[in-house]
Structure 1
Amino acid sequence: MTHETVDIKAWIDDRPVAKYQWLILVLCFFVVLFDGFDVAVMGFVAPSLIQEWGLSRAAFGPVMSAGMVGLAIGALTAGPYADRLGRKKIMLFAVTGFSVLSLACAFARNPYELAALRLLTGVALGAALPNTTTLLAEYLPERNRSLFITLMFTGFNMGSGLGGFVAAWLIPSHGWQSVLLFGGIMPLLLLPFLWLLLLPESARFLAAHNASASQIAKGLNKLGGTFTAATRFVMSEPQVQHKAPVRMLFTEQYRFGTLALWLTYFMGLLVIYLTMGWMPTLLRDGGLSIERAATITGLFQIGGTVGAIVVGWAMDRRNPNAVIATSYALGGAFILLLGAFSLESSLLAVGVIAAGFCMSGAQTGLNAFAPGYYPTDCRATGVSWMLGIGRFGAIFGSLVGGAVLSLGLDLPLLFALLAVPAFIAALAIMGNGRARRRAIGRTVLAQ
């Protein structure tokens, strides 16, 4: 094998999953877990911080929104750099950045300093997620890719939930600063393993950038290869290095699919953030206790964690576009049904679990789908811009919820309005399916 010409993707696709690929999954899982912890942490420390600083909720609003804006900026900027400099390098700088900045947030003296630091922290957090997705995707066989990536993304939900337990444990004895210190120290402990020992650069990225055969062989040999510097590595996919990565997203081959992915992700996050952010208030206004309203809303996230794994499994066995579109459409249908249930009915909890299963499952599935749509030369850019544009859906959802609730609409009508973006997301991803088939057809003709 040492003197053969080897197609990297085909070689990975033809082999069973190796222990080293599982190790890459575990490392990326922990990066995503700490990312999820730091994204959600301000929500858990806000009550203590507001009380200590004597702030109103309105005055603390910029601190919360600064992180969201930073997430969008980080996602939009990280992809093009990763397609030039490498997935591993940008991801490690991002993890280092949000670790150090989280530590710095613990020493903020006023809301202005904290808002500025959270903006910068958000940039680093937004840069980490698309690069873990891209790096993992490029080391996985296509038959398992969706399941593995959705497994990795369950770390985000777990990290977000972990923040609540850590806050309950640390704040009473050590104050709100201790939670931010925890969120900075834990990923710093992971960094030596990522920098020096375990995490490889993408072999497909190295091949696309004409790296030496010995560099590529080093990573692939850990998967069971026996390659040397004499091996010639190739990739049977479009290579368009002469274009800037962002411009490549808007070439004729990818333009429609790019816009469809953006619209789908935007609408999906709009629904999820409206639901998670405002459902407790909606249920409380409907007469439920604060504790029951919070518990029922939490079921949405639990259903979403299970749904992500099931959708990823199904995507590896069926048409991914159809699986994701069906999940969004069913999510919209279950949200619509919530308006028909009595707030005291146990069916409401079942409906929330089902809605979370479908909506979060579809959203995570989209994260697994996007890397396969783009070629190596612009894959990180395609994934990160989808995530970045989608973040504006999250920001819009967080902002518009209060305005909609202030209209005093009946619950059935509110849930009906909430379901509309889910149906739009389903239609958009189906449109992406057509674009993908056209792109594949053009590639075959070109060859």
Structure 2
Amino acid sequence: MNVTARISQAPMSGYQWLIVALCTFMNCLDGFDVMAVAFTGPSVTEEFALTGSEFGLLVSVGLIGMAIGSMLLAPFADLIGRRPLILISLALATIGMFGAAAAPSVTVMGLFRLITGIGVGGILASTNVIASEFSNAKNRGLAIGIYTAGYGIGATAASLVAKATVGGDWRIVFYAGGAGTLLALVVIAAVLPESVAFLEQRRPSGALERINRTLARMRVAAVTDADLDEAATTRADTGRTGAGWLKQLLTPTILLWLTFITVMFGFYFVNSWTPTLLVEEGLSESAAVTAGMAISLGGTVGSVLYGVAARVRAPRVVLIGFSLLSAAMMIVFIISASTLWLGFGIGVVVGALINGCIAGTYTVGPPLYPTNVRSVGMGWALGMGRIGAILSPTIAGVLKDAGASATQLYVGAAAVVALGALVLVGLRRYDPESTRTPNGALTA
């Protein structure tokens, strides 16, 4: 039995949950980074005398950097290891955050925002895979749900720091983000092990000792060189190795990309446009911000709720349900938002559901790929998902300028999210989680 199968069947140890917690901490950096720009937007715009389009470009540069990092850095995780790439990406993100904090002009700030985005993109592609590979089959959905909740925690932290600096220096927010990223770099360098799945597949010098040292901390039985040789033979027999992997997995890869694009389209629409649209619907700015906070609040727990549900049903099936419910509740939210208490309550539900969808995409993706291409597969999926993240605010802005109402925009975004559910139905035949053996191991 290979290492991955042993981990899939064994109970989750405290050490494995520690690794999930470390990945969650790193995912907080994404939430902090994205929302740091949103919360400091008015101050940055005032200091550098930016137009709306110029500030929009500054925001987009970070998202573009994330796409580049996910798609171009992620393949190196399958070559040099998950851990080294995470450390490199954390170093880039640290440089980017401190550089943006000290930037003398918007051009320089934009350059460092790009560097930050590249680093964060590399971090996300690797930590998602690490969290998945160190989880057993039963708790994989829950572990990814906890991991995904890190985004909401980081966004909340950014809002608290930004609120404390209102009327003061906006650069403090970015210095705080840089300090947090530097702390993550130190902690990860000291604590995070290399992925045992990567060590099993690539077998660098000292691989067996490193694998067994990590397995011992996880209270999983040790392996031998013969076990690793047998696993390598099995991988070769399945044909899921080598340069032909993309051809073999082309259809599920495209379906996964479409899933990421549609889910992130809805997620970033809800998170970026809600306060503005509600103000135009007649709510006060304070009430609109409160409704936006409700969505963020719901998001903090939504991904964990998805994980709990994924312990009972197949993650893909749970994601279909979350997608359809998200689409329905988005429409209910915009219709009822004029009543603040009702809009706040439904906003929490919308935030929980759409964040649960993000957790679902992170859970469904990794099992589709063999170990030797898992990081590049997920990296490209995350990069493609950023296309949805970049397009949704832009398309909403164009339609709004053309006269579309808030209700029409929300209905359109809901339709895109519902489309993702249909894509997931087509992914069924490629989903290894649907072909578990009776003891819980994956057959593929």
Q: Same fold (TM over 0.5)?
A: yes
User: Which is worse superposed, 147-156 or 163-172?
Assistant: 163-172
Given the alignment of the two structures, is residue 297 of structure 1 paired with residue 307 of structure 2, yes or no? no
Pick aligned residue for 2:33 from 15, 38, 58: 38
Q: Is the 8 A contact 2:86 2:126 kept in 1?
A: yes
Q: What is the identity percentage for the equivalent residue pairs of Structure 1 and Structure 2?
A: 28
Q: 1:28 to 1:340 in 2, by over 3 A?
A: closer
Q: Which residue of 5, 13, 17 corresponds with 1:10?
A: 5
Confirm or deny: 8 A CA contact 1:305 1:361 kept in the other structure.
Answer: no
Matching residue within 178, 191, 203 for 1:198: 191
Which residue does 1:122 correspond to in 2?
117
Distance 1:80 1:181 in 2: 30
Gaps of 5+ in 2: 437-442
Q: Match for residue 316 of structure 1?
A: 311
AA aligned to 2:195 is S
Identify the match of residue 364 of structure 1 among 334, 340, 359.
359
Partner of 2:54: 59
1:172-191 Cα shifts (integer Å, max 9, x gaps)? 45x12222111111221232
Deviates more, 1:184-193 or 1:407-416: 407-416
Deviation at 1:226, TM superposition (A): 6.0
- How far did residue 158 of structure 1 move? 0.7
Q: Which residue of 1 aligns with 2:201?
A: 208
The letter for the 1-side match of 2:213 is K
Which of 251, 275, 290 matches 2:247?
Answer: 251
Amino acid at match of 2:162: A
Alpha-carbon contact 1:304-1:353 (below 8 Å) kept: yes
Q: Runs of 5+ in structure 1 lacking a partner?
A: 1-5
Alignment partner, residue 439 of structure 2: none
Amino acid at match of 1:165: L
For residues 315-374 of structure 1, give each alpha carbon's deviation from its aligned partner in whole angstroms, at most 9, with x where no partner exists: 122122211011101111112233543612643333322222222211211112211121
How far the C-alpha of 1:255 sits from its partner, in A, is 1.7
TM-score by length of 2: 0.91
Number of paired residues?
Answer: 431
CA contact (8 A) 2:148 2:358 kept: no
Query: Could you list the per-position Cα deviations for residues 285-323 of structure 1 after superposition, in whole angstroms to 9, with x for gaps in the alignment?
Result: 111000111111221222222221111121122122211
> Counterpart in 1 of 2:440?
none
One-letter code of the match for 1:79?
A: A
Residue 184 of structure 1 corresponds to which residue in structure 2? 178
Partner in structure 2 of residue 390 of structure 1: 385
Distance 1:301 1:440 in 2: 35
Pick which of 184-193 and 200-209 moved more: 184-193
Q: Secondary structure of 1:251's match?
A: helix
Q: For the residues of structure 2 that align with 1:420 and 1:343, how far apart are their CA atoms?
A: 22
Contact residue 72 and residue 126 of structure 1 kept, 8 A:
yes
Alpha-carbon spacing, 1:176–1:377, altered in 2? closer, same or farther (3 Å): same
1:373 corresponds to which of 360, 368, 371: 368
Distance 1:228 1:347, change over 3 A: closer
Contact 2:316 2:360 in 1 (8 A): no
Provide TM-score, normalisation by structure 1. 0.90
1:103 to 98, 107, 110: 98
Provide the rounded CA distance (Å) in 2 between the counterparts of 1:171 and 1:411: 29
What's 2:159 paired with? 164
- Classify 1:103/1:438 alpha carbon distance in 2 versus 1 (closer, same or farther; 3 Å): closer
Could you tell me which of 410, 432, 437 is aligned with 1:415? 410
What SS class does the counterpart of residue 343 from structure 1 fall into?
A: coil
Question: Aligned equivalents of 1:373 and 1:384: distance in 2?
Answer: 13
Match of 1:242 in 2: 242
Q: 5 Å matches for 1:67-106?
A: 67-106=62-101
1:308–1:362 Cα contact (<8 Å) kept = yes
Task: After superposition, give the CA deviation of every residue in 1:110-167 in whole Å (9 maximum; x if it has no partner).
Answer: 1111111111111111110110111121111111111011101111111012111112
- Secondary structure of the 2:365 match is helix
Quick check: 369-378 or 330-339, which moved more? 330-339
Structure 1's 106 and 338: CA in aligned 2 closer, same or farther, altered over 3 A? closer
Shift of residue 25 of structure 1?
Answer: 1.5
Cα drift, residue 416 of structure 1 = 2.1
1:401 aligns to 2:385 (yes or no) = no
Post-superposition Cα deviations, 1:92-124, rounded to whole Å, max 9, x if no partner, equal 110111012211111211111111111111111
Q: What is the rounded CA distance, in whole Å, between the counterparts of 2:271 and 2:262 in structure 1?
A: 14
CA deviations 1:252-283 (Å, max 9, x no partner) are: 3x222111111111011111211221121211
